Amino acid sequence: MEYVYAALLLHKLKKEVNEANISSVVKASGAEVNDAQVKAMVAALADINIEDAIKAAPVAVAAAAPAEAAGEAKKEEKPKEEGKTEEAAMEGLSSLFG
């Protein structure tokens, strides 16, 4: 997971997403770097437009947390809808990996 975060951070900072940069970010976080996983991440992202993948990712789940923190009334969610949200999140996440 740290490799995905490193790639997203590099993208946000408009830095090149390559093996050296991902390794540097992961090392800076205090985690151990697995060179095979770094190579796999760079290869997986080679044909992916990260900006398009971010736009396609579901944001409803992430947007709900700030609303609750602000003290807005909570809406009761049906378990059936929660399963659909989770499925949508997994579809969006899988687009990062081709």
| Averages of pLDDT over each 10 residues, the chain, 98 residues | 92 94 95 94 90 80 56 54 61 60
- Residue after which a domain boundary falls, among 24, 46, 68: 46
Q: Are residues 39 and 14 in the same domain?
A: yes
Q: Are residues 42 and 53 in the same domain?
A: no
- Residue after which a domain boundary falls, among 29, 46, 63: 46
* Per-residue pLDDT, 87: 67
Q: Are residues 94 and 53 in the same domain?
A: yes
Distance CA 58, CA 64 (A): 12
* Per-residue pLDDT, 29: 93
* Per-residue pLDDT, 40: 93
Task: Note down the domain range covering 32.
Answer: 1-46
Q: Are residues 24 and 40 in the same domain?
A: yes
Distance CA 87, CA 27 (A): 32
Give the CA distances from residue 85 to residues 5, 23, 95, in Å, rounded to whole numbers and listed in that order. Answer: 21, 32, 16
* Per-residue pLDDT, 8: 92
Q: Are residues 38 and 4 in the same domain?
A: yes
Find where tokens 């990712």 sit. Answer: 57
Q: Are residues 56 and 27 in the same domain?
A: no
Give the CA distances from residue 97 to residues 18, 33, 77, in Å, rounded to whole numbers and listed in that order. Answer: 16, 20, 30
Q: Are residues 60 and 97 in the same domain?
A: yes
The contacts found for 68-74 with CB under 8 angstroms, 24 or more apart, are: none
* Per-residue pLDDT, 22: 95
